[in-house]
Amino acid sequence: MDNIGIIGGGISGLSLAYFLLERDPSADITVFESEQRLGGKIWTDKTQGFLCEGGVNGFLDNRPKTLELAGKVGLKPLRSNDASRKRFIFSDSRLQRLPESPPSFFTSGLLSLPGRLRVMAEPFIPGNAQEEETLAAFAKRRLGQEAYEKLIDPMASGIYAGNPETLSLRACFPKVYDLEKNYGGLVRGMFALQRAKKKAGSGEKVGAGPGGVLTSFYDGMAEVVDALKTKLGDRVRTGYRAVSIDRKGKGYQVFFSDGSGFEAGTVVVASPAYTASGMLREMNAHLSGIIATIPYPSLSVVCLGYRREKVKADLDGFGFLVPSREKRTVLGTLWDSSIFPNRAPEGYVLLRSMVGGARASSRALESDANLTDMVRKEMAGIMGITADPDFAKVYRHEQAIPQYTAGHLGRLDEIDSLLSRFRNLYLAGNAYRGIGVNDCIENSFKLAQRIADGQ
């Protein structure tokens, strides 16, 4: 195996290096990270007794590779508390519990009676799966306008900080797309899959959502980053910002901002699309230009800590999301200290709010003081918390979550076609085929197989 340079020390780059070494412990691998901190969007900060996740706060336990990796590096995953199954939507100026079952959906006041009847009519809507359709168009067509506004819109904000009017259904939620394409509708598809699993003797539940239980670690998501860093040792170099890549012989040369360079037979660009685009511009302007079209809105995470007695609201739950029709500043707020232990000192609670996203990207770039003030006002109006917080911290991402907008899969096909001209040059990371931790780790595992097999 040629020497390998991995550009990007987020979870994709670190897990890829680990999987490659697992296959060949003698492999010559170097990971370069532009920042002094590893982890990318995994950003755990312990301060004043609070454990704040400035980025990713967990992963779902329904896909094996992340749990397998955690076990291999000696970590013990921590499942979220049972109370976190309760989730809320702030709709019609009040918090309303999200229905978890068909009976609770029928009795819930979240949707009006006509809205509920429209959702119940979904099995009778003709199947019309389209190769490219936005999440909004799909939801309105199959579930109706009200369900779209009160359920699907906040879900898109919660997962992608995105605008469902521009997000690609097939790229963002391929499982949902497949249900309509293969079975003609969501309900019909779920019943068909459930029957098949029952026949096969599987007790696994089937749904259109991702499923699984939110999982993290006692000391936060950075545990997995720290464990991988320990395993990789001096193969990881921080403070190296790659600015360009060029061919050299049968391999490549990576140039860094300090004027230094690195030669490798194989190079993996595991950095965000906007930096990958810049690195590849001189080598192939067309490839660079397509990668650059993947947008990243700004997002800020605002953590507020309170003495428990200051918060009269019941925090028995996961938190809430806010539909855009409510015209609020926050996209949603997670009650972090109710989801996992060790997130707040004894006698305190920690609330984590998201501001910005695709619909209001510039809002995330306000000053820390303004963002904190915005969220405090929202907590007063939504949760009735009028007391001053005892702790406040802002984590700003000027370019946060990649958006899989309409046409994303076509762009990926073109990227793959152009990239095939460059042997032993690869792209990795959450800009392409899945934004979550599970996606990144699974894709890194598959890429390690390809590199080891010389594909």
Q: Is the pLDDT of residue 444 over 90?
A: yes
CA 328, 174, 318, 430 torsion-angle sign: negative
Cα angle: 343, vertex 368, 435; to 5 degrees: 60
Q: What is the mean pLDDT of residues 161-173?
A: 97
Catalogue all structural domains in the chain, each as residue range(s) with its CATH number.
4-40+221-295+405-452 (3.50.50.60), 111-199 (1.10.3110.10), 297-397 (3.90.660.20)
In whole angstroms, give the CA distance from residue 294 to residue 277: 10
User: What pLDDT is stored for residue 396 in this prediction?
Assistant: 97
Task: Count CB neighbours of 289 within 10 A.
Answer: 12
What percent of the chain shows pLDDT beyond 70?
Answer: 98
- For residue 10, what pLDDT band results from cuts at 50, 70 and 90? very high
Q: What is the mean pLDDT of residues 182-189?
A: 92
Q: What is the mean pLDDT of residues 44-59?
A: 97
User: What pLDDT is stored for residue 205 in this prediction?
Assistant: 52
- For residue 245, what pLDDT band results from cuts at 50, 70 and 90? very high
Q: What is the mean pLDDT of residues 217-245?
A: 98
Q: Please give the C-alpha separations between residue 11 and each of 8, 134, 374, 422, in angstroms, as whole numbers.
A: 9, 29, 31, 24
In whole angstroms, give the CA distance from residue 454 to residue 42: 30
Task: Count CB neighbours of 204 within 10 A.
Answer: 11
What percent of the chain shows pLDDT beyond 90?
Answer: 89
Q: Is the pLDDT of residue 152 over 90?
A: yes
Position with higher pLDDT, 38 vs 101: 38
Q: Is the pLDDT of residue 76 over 90?
A: yes
User: What pLDDT is stored for residue 193 in this prediction?
Assistant: 86
Q: What is the mean pLDDT of residues 45-55?
A: 97
Q: What is the mean pLDDT of residues 38-51?
A: 97
- DSSP for 188-238 reads HHHHHHHHHHHHTT------SS--S-EEE-TT-THHHHHHHHHHHGGGEEE
Q: What is the mean pLDDT of residues 392-411?
A: 98
Average pLDDT, the chain: 94
pLDDT 10s digits, 124-144? 999 888 889 999 999 999 999
User: What pLDDT is stored for residue 209 in this prediction?
Assistant: 54
Query: Is this prediction's pTM over 0.75?
Result: yes
